[in-house]
Chains A and B, each alone.
Chain A
Amino acid sequence: MATMRRFDGLFMAGAVAWVLLIPAAASAQPPGEAGAVAEIVEEDLGEDIEALLAEAEEVFRSADQPESIPMFERIILLLERLQAEGALDEQGEGWLKLGLFRRAEARSNLLDEDGAKADLAAILRSDPAWEVPAGYTVSRLLSDLLRGVRDAETGVLDPLIEPPDAELYLDGQLLGPVSGPRHVLAGERLLRVRRPGFAEIEQPLTIPPGGSVPIELTLERTSAVVWLTTRPAGVEVVLRGEVLAVSLPAGQGFEEEASAELAVEGLMPGEQVLTLRKEGYRPIEMLVKIGELTDYAIDPVGLERSRGTVTISRVPAAARVLLDGEPQTLPGEGPIDLRLELPPGEHELRVEAGPAGLFESRFELADRQLVEIAVRLRPGLVLLGVLGGDRVAASELEMRLAERFGRLSRWAVVQRAERGFELLRAAGIDRALMRVLAADTGAAEPPDWAALQEALDRGLAGSAYLLAVLSDDLYASRADLWLWSAAPGPTRPARRQIALGDGGGLDALAEALDRPLRLSAPWIGARIVDSAAADSPLVLSIEPEGPAAAAGLRAGDTVRAIGGQPVASALELTERIAGSPAGHELLLQIAGQGEARSVSLTLGVSPVVASLSDPSALDPALAARLASLEANADASAPTWLVRLNRGVVLMRSGEWRRAAEALRGIQAPSAAGVGQATVDYLLGIALLEVDHAAYRDTALGLIGHAADGRARLEHNDGPLLAPRARARLETLLGGARRQP
Chain B
Amino acid sequence: MIVRPGPVVGGVLAVVCWLPAPAVTLAAPQGEEAIQRLRFEAAQLEQEGDLEGALHKYELLSEQFPEAPAAAEALLRLIVGNRELGRDEVAEEAARTLIRTHPRSRHAAGGYALLGQLQAERAVDEADLDEARETLENAVILFPRAAYTDQPWRAEAAVRGARVAQRQGRDAEAARALADIIDLEPRSKWTAAARLELAGLLLDQGDWQEAGSLLQEVVDDAGDGEDERALAAQAESRLALAHRLGLRPARGEQRWQSSRVVGGAPERPSAVAARRDGQVAVSGAKGSTVVLDSTGRVVSRWTHEEARRNSWRDTELLVATTEAAATFPERRNLRFASPPSDKKPTVRPLVAVEPAPFGGWLVLAAKPARVLLYEPGRRLHEILVEGKGREPIDLARDRRGRLLVLDQKARSVTRFAAGGAGGDRLIVGGWERAEALAVDPAANVYVLDRGQRRIEMFDRDGKRLTGLGPSLPGGLELERPADLTVDAAGRIWIADSRLGLIVVE
Interface residues of A (CB under 8 A from B): 436, 439-443, 446, 492, 494-495, 527-534, 538, 540-541, 554-556, 570-571, 574, 593, 612, 615, 651-656, 685, 689, 713, 719-720, 722-724, 726-728, 730-731, 734, 738-740
Contact = CB atoms under 8 A, between A and B. Distances in A.
Given A530-B219, A734-B172, A740 B142 contact: yes
B316 to A, nearest CB: 25
A568 to B, nearest CB: 13
A530 B73 contact: no
Nearest to B103: A442
Contact of A540 (B147, B149, B212, B217): B212
Given A441-B69, A441-B72, A540-B212, A713 B183 contact: yes
A528 B219 CA distance: 12
Contacts of A541: 209, 212-213
Given A529-B216, A531-B239, A655-B146, 16 more contacts: A441-B72, A441-B106, A492-B149, A527-B212, A528-B216, A529-B213, A541-B213, A555-B247, A556-B248, A556-B250, A556-B253, A615-B186, A723-B207, A724-B175, A724-B198, A728-B179
A556 B145 contact: no
B213 A442 contact: no
A654 B505 CA distance: 46
Contacts of B198: 723-724
Interface in B212-254: 212-217, 219-221, 236-237, 239-240, 242-244, 247-248, 250-251, 253
A727 B219 contact: no
B69 A731 contact: no
B209 A540 contact: yes
Contacts of A654: 144-149
Contacts of B69: 436, 439, 441-443
B240 A570 contact: no
Contact of B102 (A442, A724, A731): A442
Nearest to B141: A740
B168 interface: no
B184 interface: yes
B197 to A, nearest CB: 12
Nearest to B250: A555
Please provide the 7 A-B residue pairs with the shortest distance between their CB atoms, ordered closest to farther. Answer: A727-B175, A654-B145, A441-B69, A654-B146, A730-B172, A615-B187, A442-B104
A214 B240 CA distance: 128
B128 interface: no
A652 B146 CA distance: 9
Given A442-B69, A533-B243, A652-B184, A738 B172 contact: no
Contacts, number: 156
Given A442-B106, A495-B150, A651-B184, A723 B202 contact: yes
Interface string B352-383: 00000000000000000000000000000000
23 contacts: A440-B148, A441-B70, A442-B69, A533-B243, A540-B209, A540-B239, A556-B251, A593-B251, A593-B253, A615-B187, A652-B184, A652-B186, A689-B144, A689-B146, A719-B213, A720-B210, A723-B202, A723-B207, A727-B172, A727-B175, A727-B176, A728-B179, A740-B142
B75 to A, nearest CB: 12
Interface string B139-179: 00110111111100000000000000000000111011001
A731 B141 contact: no
Contacts of B309: none
B141 A442 contact: no
Nearest to B144: A654
B213 A530 contact: no
Interface string B115-145: 0000000000000000000100100011011
Contacts of B147: 446, 654
Contacts of B108: 442
Interface in B476-493: 489-490
Given A529-B212, A540-B242, A719-B213, A724 B253 contact: no
Nearest to B215: A529
B56 interface: no
B77 interface: no
A485 B170 CA distance: 40
Contacts of A540: 209, 212-213, 216, 239, 242-243, 247
Contacts of B184: 651-652
B453 interface: no
A533 B219 CA distance: 16
Most chain B beta-carbon neighbours within 10 Å: one of A436, A555, A689, A719: A719
B243 A727 contact: no
B213 A534 contact: no
A189 B72 CA distance: 102
A652 B186 CA distance: 8
Contacts of B450: none
A151 B272 CA distance: 144
B227 to A, nearest CB: 16
Nearest to B174: A727
A731 B172 contact: yes
A739 B179 contact: no
A442 B149 contact: no
A610 to B, nearest CB: 14
Contacts of B142: 740
A724 B247 contact: no
A446 B106 CA distance: 13
A527 B141 contact: no
Given A720-B210, A728-B176, A738-B137, A532 B237 contact: yes
A204 B360 CA distance: 132
A533 B107 contact: no
A529 B210 contact: no
B442 to A, nearest CB: 14
A723 B175 contact: yes
B105 interface: yes
Given A441-B106, A531-B243, A593-B251, A574 B214 contact: no
Nearest to A575: B220
Contacts of A734: 172-173
Contacts of B182: 719
A702 B134 CA distance: 28
Contacts of B247: 538, 540, 555-556
Nearest to B253: A556
Contacts of A531: 239-240, 242-243
Contacts of B137: 738
B216 A719 contact: no
A728 B240 CA distance: 28
Contacts of B202: 723
B251 to A, nearest CB: 4
Contacts of B237: 532
B240 A527 contact: no
A529 B248 contact: no
A570 B220 contact: yes
A388 to B, nearest CB: 17
B404 to A, nearest CB: 26
A147 B205 CA distance: 130
A722 B210 CA distance: 9
B207 to A, nearest CB: 6
Nearest to A720: B210
Contacts of A534: 243
Contacts of B236: 530, 532
A720 B209 CA distance: 10
Given A530-B236, A731-B172, A653 B149 contact: yes
A527 B242 CA distance: 13
B505 A533 contact: yes
A651 B183 CA distance: 10
A439 B35 CA distance: 14
Which of B216, B248, B251 is most buried by chain A, counting CB atoms within 10 A of its CB? B216
Most buried by A among B73, B106, B137, B175: B175
Contacts of A652: 145, 184, 186
A692 to B, nearest CB: 11
A538 B253 CA distance: 15
Given A724-B179, A727-B176, A527 B489 contact: no
